[in-house]
Each structure stands twice: as structure tokens, then as C-alpha cells.
Structure 1
Amino acid sequence: MKKDIFIGMLVGLIANAIGLFFAANLLGKGDDFTLVIKAAAEEGFLGKLISLGAILNLIAFFVFIKKRQDYRARGVLLITVFIALSTFVFKLF
């Protein structure tokens, strides 16, 4: 059970990282990834960019639900909630 939750959390982090990369490349108009992240942090929309990256977690979540791998889906959901809370805290400070 713990192993499946950990796998789900790992998949959620990887999906979020890939989504963040795609969102940065799409919104950055082909600029360097690190340059886009630095500009987003300076302009104050890094939290929004990270939240856009979390959209891929929906796909992973529903794939795990469809395969009846509930504990892995729970791990993806935990990471998604963690990302939402961290972007909220990031926006406050």
C-alpha cells in the first residue's frame, strides 16, 4: 500500500515537471526554460505556471482510477494538493 502511494506521488511529481516544462515552453515562446522560470519568478506568475503544469496530474489520476489502482491515484492526488498549497503559500509571500 505505501509503495503504491509512493509510486503515485512520484508519477505526480514527474507529470507536474513535464507539464511545467511544456507550459514554460508554450508561454515562453521558445525561450530557454531557465530564463522563462526566472522571468516568471520576477514578474510574480511562477505559481500560475506551476499550477498549469499540474494539469497533467489529471491524466495520471484518471489513468490510475481507470486501472483500479486507487492507492497510486491517491498518491497523485496528494501531490496535487501539496502543489496547490505550496503555490498558495508562495503567492502569499
Structure 2
Amino acid sequence: MNKKDLVFGFLIGLATTLVGSYVFITFFTDFKFIAGIQIMKSQGNLGKIITLGSVLTLIAFGILLKINREIMARGVVLAIIALTILTLFI
């Protein structure tokens, strides 16, 4: 197994979740990104924002499978698992 591809897939998973969360907060709320994160955390909704941000990760996973990058796709799944565990403790 190529560990570089696995790490790169993990970073893709984290980046797409961050971009998805950014898009959701800026377009669907009245807050800026950092202020929105702080407000959602104080309201207890940060896990929901991370979950909605993970929708873009599904697209990245599908694209990686389509171009036969299975190891990178495993890294994306690993990022989702890590974010799920993180969400449980927030």
C-alpha cells in the first residue's frame, strides 16, 4: 500500500469537508466563516455543520473511484471516520 496516496486522500477528505463547511456557513447563514464556527460551536451545532460539509467529500470519493485511485479513496474514507470521531467529542 502506498502510504503517500493514503495521506493525500486523507488530506483531500479534510479539505473538501472544510470547503463544504465554508460554503454552507457563508451562503446559508448571515455569519462570516470564523464567527459562524464560533457561534455554531456555542449553540452545539458544529457537528451538524461538519456533517453538511462532508457532502463534498462524497463527490471527491466518487471521482477518485472513477479514476481508479482506490488508495486515495481509502484515505478519504479514513478522513470521514476521523471527522466522525471528532464530531462525537465536540
TM-score by structure 2 length? 0.92
Shift of 1:9: 0.7
1:81: which partner in 2?
81
Counterpart code for 2:48: K
Please list every run of 5 or more consecutive structure 1 residues that lacks an aligned counterpart in the other structure.
none
Q: Percent identity?
A: 33
Shift of 1:86: 1.1
Between the aligned partners of 1:34 and 1:89, the Cα distance in structure 2 is 20
RMSD: 1.0
2:32: which partner in 1?
32
Shift of 1:41: 0.9
Alignment of 1:31-70 (within 5 A): 31-70=31-70
Counterpart code for 2:46: L
Please list every run of 5 or more consecutive structure 2 residues that lacks an aligned counterpart in the other structure.
none
Between the aligned partners of 2:53 and 2:61, the Cα distance in structure 1 is 14
Between the aligned partners of 1:59 and 1:71, the Cα distance in structure 2 is 16
Between the aligned partners of 1:75 and 1:82, the Cα distance in structure 2 is 10
Between the aligned partners of 1:26 and 1:77, the Cα distance in structure 2 is 26
Q: Does residue 18 of structure 1 match 2:19?
A: yes
Shift of 1:27: 2.8
Please identify runs of 4+ aligned residues in structure 1 that moved more than 4 A. Answer: none
